[in-house]
């Protein structure tokens, strides 16, 4: 017979497998991963790992809530999906505009907007600390 302790251990292994099974399914096609450390926020991670705010949120939408207030130290995030991983980024500064960003990076506004679907059409909702994909390559998010 199993002792209560053994049953507890078995239950914990099952829960752990379920949790990490979910993560590995999500990250099976992952180009880059990152392990959360103390003090991280989504935009801090985005800035230091060259991943856009939009891409980080979208790729991890199953485990990170939209407000990004449920990060756990030690949690493994996928930073980008193979073939859809923009790794050329720019952190929005105070006073920035899409015009300043496209001038500085030399990319068309249409590319900036396509690669950052969270920016509204008049570009009035960018904020300091937000991380934008500023690659000249157009990424087809959500189409594969």
Ligand X SMILES: *[C@@H]1O[C@H](CO)[C@@H](O)[C@H](O)[C@H]1NC(C)=O
Smallest distance from ligand X to CB 38, Å: 19
Tokens representing residue 127 in the block = 């904020």
Residue in 29, 58, 84, 87 binding ligand X, rule: CB under 6 A: 87
- For the bound state, the minimum distance from the C-beta of residue 116 to ligand X, rounded and expressed in Å, comes to 17
Question: Of 100-139, which residues contact ligand X (CB under 6 A)?
Answer: none
Distance (Å, rounded) from C-alpha 42 to C-alpha 51?
10
Nearer Cβ to ligand X (44/123): 44
Taking residue 117's Cβ as centre, other Cβ atoms within 10 Å add up to: 15
Name which of 76 and 123 has its Cβ closer to ligand X: 76
- Whether residue 66 contacts residue 75, with contact meaning beta carbons closer than 8 Å, is answered with no
Closest to ligand X by CB, 58 or 87: 87
2-61: which residues touch ligand X (CB under 6 A)? 49-50
Measured in degrees and rounded to the nearest 5, phi and psi for residue 86 equal -75, 120
The helix or strand, by DSSP H or E, that contains position 131, with its residue range, turns out to be strand 131-133
């Amino acid at each position: 017979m199993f002792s209560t302790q053994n049953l507890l251990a078995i239950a914990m292994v099952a829960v752990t497998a379920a949790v990490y099974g979910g993560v590995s399914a999500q990250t099976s096609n992952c180009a880059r991963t990152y392990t959360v450390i103390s003090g991280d926020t989504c935009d801090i991670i985005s800035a230091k790992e060259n991943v856009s705010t939009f891409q980080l949120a979208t790729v991890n939408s199953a485990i990170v809530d939209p407000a990004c207030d449920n990060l756990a130290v030690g949690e493994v995030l996928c930073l980008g999906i193979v073939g859809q991983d923009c790794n050329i980024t720019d952190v929005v500064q105070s006073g920035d505009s899409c015009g300043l960003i496209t001038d500085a990076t030399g990319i068309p506004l249409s590319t900036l907007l396509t690669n950052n679907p969270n920016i509204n059409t008049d570009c009035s909702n960018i904020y300091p600390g937000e991380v934008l994909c500023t690659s000249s390559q157009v990424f087809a998010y959500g189409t594969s």
